[in-house]
Amino acid sequence: MSASPHPLVALSDQTVALVENAARSAVAVSGRRSSASGIHWRPGVIVTAEDVLEQDEDIAVTLPGGRQVAASLAGRDPSTDVAVLRIDAGDVPVAATADAPARAGQMVLAVGSHQGAPVASFGMVAYAGGAWSSVRGGTIDALLRLDLNLSPRGVGGALVDIEGRVVGMTVFGPRRRPLAIPTSTIDRAVDQLLAKGHAVRGYFGAGLQHVHLGRAGAEPDAGTRGILIASIDPDGPAARAGLLLGDIVTTWNAKPVGRLREIVRLLGPDSVGNTVDLELLRGGAPVAAKIVIGERPLA
């Protein structure tokens, strides 16, 4: 009668099996000077981290086993760090995704690809918070901080649970701390990029800069800041709302605003078509205005 394998041997074997299974849907994404990972998300559709793509052309994808194919960019969304590529995937399987969101303490594996071979690291979800807005105004459905050693080659790869299902895409956050973009956010970005080829963003129709409204030398706070309208698109929402050069926006739907990044976050995809109540200072006098947020035109 043979002895049972040591528990650590069994755990190691199971981890190897999970990596090998996830690696069947993992690809390497190469530009002119950089290389990262990607996930075969839908038939012929690769998802990767937007910030690793240095250009829109000359992108190659290395499939499991080492075969390289050309890729075309279907679209990129810097606000959620999602880029979508199209390839001839052959018989590469599509990644299986989890239905439930990741939880703090959940054991996970980051699985990517380098030249067609797996790149992996083991750890856990250190923190699972609620929805948040990126510095570029994208809505991320959950804040997933990871306790693992993420290789730069693995960025854009899959974060998988112990059942081998993808719960997110691995990226570097502020201070190069590993994060994951949840699958629900990726699905929403993929739908939009495949349909339109670009990310939808709200459009105010004016050049903006922050100003300090308090007395000289005073410490600025939420009540002493504003957003100055420095230029206006004559065909944009601000012009249609009757806003003028020199107006200072002080509140947005009754909430004080004084930082440009606040406006960027407020102009997310869901803002398009919304009517916003603004309070302004015009020549020092308070003025109320309503603006209908448009869709940002392509550059």
- Round to whole Å and give the CA distance between 52 and 35: 8
DSSP 287: E
> What kind of fold does domain 202-295 have according to CATH?
Pdz3 Domain (2.30.42)
The backbone torsions φ and ψ at residue 177, rounded to the nearest 5 degrees and listed phi first, read: -85, 135
> In the numeric block, which tokens belong to residue 195?
């349909």
Task: Give the phi and the psi of residue 269 in degrees, each rounded to 5.
Answer: -55, -35
User: According to CATH, where is 2.30.42.10 located in the chain?
Assistant: 202-295
Phi, psi of 298 (to 5 degrees): -70, 140
pLDDT given at position 220 = 46
The answer to whether 146 and 42 have CB atoms below 8 angstroms apart is no
Contact 48, 42 (CB under 8 A): no
Q: What is the pLDDT of residue 55?
A: 81
| Chain segment 40-58, per-residue pLDDT in tens | 999 999 999 999 888 888 8
Residue numbers in the chain where pLDDT is lower than 50: 216-222
C-beta separation of 82 from 181 below 8 A:
yes
How confident is the model at residue 217, as a pLDDT? 45
Query: Which positions ≥6 away from 252 have C-beta within 8 Å?
Result: 262, 263, 266, 276, 277, 278
**Total-model pTM:** 0.82
The residues that bridge with 121 in the sheet, in sequence order, are 110
Domain ranges in the chain with CATH number 2.40.10.120: 7-196
Report angle CA 198, 176, 121 to the nearest 5 degrees: 95
Instruction: Tally the C-alpha atoms within 13 A of residue 204's C-alpha that lie toward its C-beta.
Output: 25
State how far the Cα of 162 lies from the Cα of 109, in Å rounded to an integer.
8
CATH no. for 7-196: 2.40.10.120
Q: What is the pLDDT of residues 244-298, one digit of tens each?
A: 999 999 999 999 998 888 898 888 888 899 999 999 999 999 999 999 999 988 7
Q: How far apart are CA 35 and CA 191, in angstroms?
A: 25
Residue 266: φ, ψ to 5°: -70, -20
